[in-house]
Amino acid sequence: MNWDITAAKRLVIKVGSSSLTTLDGGISVQALNRLVDACQQLRARGTEIVLVSSGAIAAGLAPLGLDRRPADLAAQQAAAAVGQGQLLAHYSRAFAHHGAQVGQVLLTVEDLIRRATYVNALRALEKLLALGVVPIINENDAVATAEIRFGDNDRLAALTANLIHADGLVLLSDVDALYDGPPAEGGSPIARIERTEDLSGVTLGPRGRAGIGTGGMVTKVEAANIVTAHGIPARLTSAAQAAALFDGAEVGTLFLPRGKRRGARSAWLAHLAHTKGSITIDTGAVEAVIGARRSLLAAGITEVTGSFEAGDVVDITSGTGTVHARGLSSFSAEEVRRMRGKKTAQLGEELGEDYQRPVVHTDDMARLEATR
């Protein structure tokens, strides 16, 4: 099996800070223009593209007189606020050269996990694409807090690919492929990854260029795993090879899809969400929740661990400790402990009508490949 990128109708392309910036942290206009020219190859064939671009914080370093990415969140937010405008201005000029308009879309993780904003984000992107606009997405670094961050634009790109049902994800960096070990120590490039087992023994390199990027090969492989688990192929290569890739060359590393397509919210729950506790369920509930894909009711709950509030993410496990699903709890841990094992009618009589709702609704749940 292979992936013909020239036949894709819709692609998410992520480019890292190190591919767009100079060594002193400023924007490399030449590198950005080359990327836009390469993207135009796809657009000329009728492929819709969504560009997830890092570089806002890096672009803000020089104007603020900073020589490296600041460690504290407030300084990062300030750099992002200054740099995002400069970054978008460069993209606007570069795409305008090809007669294209760009649209800025800044997201936080909450935008893709809360139902209302999730739908709004999807509608906005779909409308921009329908109008022939190139959406330029970045994490909203100026307002995102440590607790609600994607952590890296690789993950944001993966969730965006799931959100818009893209035909593929392209991860562009300053590395031409995934290697099975450090290239300086004899590591060789890997042409394709078909199963997660293919990554066994692979040594992933450090994070991005010192003082510039936040990601690295670890987050790129995580992003590739997110989309391939949801039926979307991914290709990882360097920004320098983008033009060749978009022309059909088989460069870099191809990650083949291995699962069914699901939305960004489900992908976030399955792969990125931080759990605050766990809910253990009996055999009958496992069959209903996992096999029949129903909501989790209190009657099937046998044990509750951890301290969580309504809206927090919890693991849903069986008595053997196997994690079968992950979802958003409708109640706090204290409430679920009072509710466990009770039928819906009994909950209404003892605790009130509001407690007759599912503990975890099926729409707020991601079923997992069973893990322990």
From the annotation, which residues make up the binding site for ATP? 14, 173-174, 214-220
SS3 285: helix
Contact 253, 235 (CB under 8 A): yes
SS3 262: coil
Largest Cα–Cα distance of the chain, in whole Å?
69
Contact 215, 244 (CB under 8 A): no
What gap in Å lies between CA 191 and CA 89, rounded to an integer?
Answer: 36
Q: Pairing mode, if any, of strands 10-15 and 48-53?
A: parallel
List, in order, residues 6 or more apart from 287 with CB less than 8 Å away. Answer: none
List, in order, residues 6 or more apart from 180 with CB less than 8 Å away. Answer: 187, 188, 190, 201, 202, 203
Report the binding-site residues for substrate. 54, 141, 153
What DSSP string describes 152-205? SHHHHHHHHHHHTT-SEEEEEESSSS-BSS-GGGT--B--EE-SGGGGTT----
Q: Pairing mode, if any, of strands 102-107 and 134-139?
A: parallel
Contact 328, 266 (CB under 8 A): no
Q: How many CA atoms lie within 13 A of 316 on its CB side?
A: 35
SS3 325: strand
Element (H, E) at 305: strand 301-306
What gap in Å lies between CA 326 and CA 276, rounded to an integer?
Answer: 11
What gap in Å lies between CA 298 and CA 145, rounded to an integer?
Answer: 33
Nearest 5°: CA angle at 348, between 345 and 354?
A: 130
Report the binding-site residues. 14, 54, 141, 153, 173-174, 214-220
